[in-house]
Structure 1
């Protein structure tokens, strides 16, 4: 794939990301107005292998789906809708921010002088976006649980890597947030590439001065 094709593909991805982000955020906000329930889930593991997936936890509209190991909650509240919309906007915004950086980077590669002063900064921008996105996707699971799960602070304990939930009348279980190591690795890789471009820019400047 040529640089031109990559540039066009990134442009297309950026447009799709912006449209999808805004559309999903609007849908999340208007669903409660029509009385539609929103479903959110957390994947769980029971403290013992004998744990039952048929237990329904005591608080109103939440429980454990049979044989799926998924804790769910249904709500039509505007508070949850707004938080979901904000999360969508944050995730979409970070992806768009990264795509904008990649777009400018690919545009620079199409010129006769790919090593520009702005190149390392652009790569660092993309790298930061990837790392921030990985952290956001992990932290959002925890924040969402404590904000919207009934009696969360009374029945749950936070241990950084997981949340232990101990219902008054049921088997204890754990909630594990997914950390996207690929995004972190991509971010660190781009930071290394930005350093390489910084050195390349320095060599190019020295060469220009000699000429």
Structure 2
């Protein structure tokens, strides 16, 4: 498959395979019987959402169906995600017009480096803060999706969710500490970016 989707497969509370979707499907198709395959749950590592896989037929048939499915609807999404990650834009100065009140200009002129340097610094700081918030939200959502599917009836599930959204890593880890090891490990992996950097 042209764009790699990484996922993790669970049979009950145990991980049976992890890696690219193609690798996971091939591994479980070869290792598990039909009954186990009907109980298998595969989760997208980036969103925490389950991936529906039709295991009927030979491994080649399963992979062909996945290629057809993800080559159209989800394939576009993968392309957009990978396009966002490819390098930084070329640096260059572009002039433009900025309209500010006199007090804003006075403050900008008094800053070290002048108005242009100060504006660039302010924009970079705002972008960094926005990117961090987006990363936190995405990690929280992925952990939430997986927890809802796999740990909804686990001890202190609701308390763990509250700690996750409160950004309290210590309490979050405490609440999931007695969960099944593979579930706990995967939740921690999905929630790795769910807490502020300065915590």
What TM-score does the superposition give when structure 2 sets the normalisation length?
A: 0.36
Q: Which has the higher contact order (CA 8 A, sep 6+)?
A: 1
What TM-score does the superposition give when structure 1 sets the normalisation length?
A: 0.34
